[in-house]
Structure 1
């Protein structure tokens, strides 16, 4: 049935792909212009809608740039925010005012002096960052692969192991935002959420498929997720993380609460550790949690069952009314970081722009 529906929608996908193709062609021939800036721009994007792992890869890049002596900044669109226009994120903001991912970045990097900004028009956001944070030496663009009005120095394209772009279709028959051939703009392609033990033979097969659409010599790297120990959330007035309370050993019953595009890898990780997921409250990506969502979750909860969620979801669970709704529940976030397979990390480091001497 799903295949028949896909076939029915394909003509609409071809039309959408054609419109996007004309738009890209206008940029390629110079009829539409892309703006460059005095500092390098590193874009982390994808071809499909949601769920390829942009946030942990942006975090990896920012941490690596800082290690190399850069003073990086992050610029995001701020999907789902209640504000408009370019805006530098500050302590008085929230996931509602700037979006869940930018707010997560702010909580991660504010203490380390990494500016975060949001802007629908990325060129305005870059200008604002460089105006207010002139010491910035590089800007990492979160999800700007299709935003052709700015010209990245390095275009990083992510595609998910379980749903690679070369097996997908353009909207509405599939999840691609543009044709598979958009991969030719990528300077490096990362296959994300791979099994940690992915064989060399399997990687070679992926490379063969990717090469049908990519530049001949663009590196193709492979990354997986590394999950950290659960961190207890606090429902106090400030939403400050609490010290980790004693957590039941693996094999214990748990609940899972997510509002992300692809919760599958997190589920698999918890199940591999032996946790029994008694109920998974799965909401759409960027879901704005409401008090009633937590009320329903309590209906599935038993005393001493931990409730796991993601760092991204935690940003939206801190709204005052929502925070009050889960007060007393043992909520834990599961930190996630990127782990490259083989020499992938070293290869990506080699593509990063050198830090200016004055910034080192």
Structure 2
């Protein structure tokens, strides 16, 4: 086997059961692919109290010139009920032109293709006139604490600097060439606690029902809309994800009620301005209505999520143009630039260099029978190889 074959690369990676946070042999396999190409490979284990240790990998080819980073993760979500799979989820079976396995799409497939692309480039042209690095982590599907953010910090402290980054997440909704992600919305979470007075459901005048209050407050968060979107982003959207009173008795008015929410926000907002707007809405709603007529305003507290994800938009023309041209040269389709979807580890990378995302079709990611067409692996490898050539050519201008 040579690293120039994306199918063989992916089969090797899938056969490593690297369910977050287990390394599962995936980084060992990746090191074996990269070292023969001339990459200097480092393994780094990140720790944080209260979280599992995570193994990560950083590899670099070259020591000067323009520096292109490829970023991704080898950890995968659990397979679920393995009996429901057509083939064992870590067997990497090929059937009818498709390769089955957990991580085939998200995102071992993208890693396998980029390895094949750089291996082909080295075989045909030698090492790039600059540097290429792999930043591969093991907890993207988990809490994302001991992965990309810490590996970036570790590498930067060693003197690493990057000019651009491509993340190999599955970005295409229907077919390769559909979409490049050139930004991501921010994400902010919180939990509201409304305090009431517990009592008997038959004697409501002796109690204050916090459910009334939590409904008033959550309604104020969901309506009116926070904004109507911008040129690059869809409207910000807040969803109430849980409402709970912890009450198992139907004849007891609960003492308190909680509601959790998450908002995906665009570049109209920063974390600070968004928190201020949420508190303004809650204060207004709490003052406007009590739990019962004639009672005091709603009493509430807000606990914010541990870490917000910040909105970002990449405007680096050389990076976007190189990737767009590479995609169109291989697929004949001009990809759409998009900021839709959830968060990714690009939210950490954007603090170090311009970053975009492009990878496989994501229709089966996280599903039973996750799979990828062999033809798509070859096409993505061709796109990545064309991108490597174009980006280094543009970087020299």
Q: More relative contact order in 1 or in 2 (CA 8 Å, sep 6+)?
A: 2
Higher strand share: 2
TM-score, length of structure 1 as denominator length: 0.23
Higher alpha-carbon Rg = 2
TM-score, length of structure 2 as denominator length: 0.22
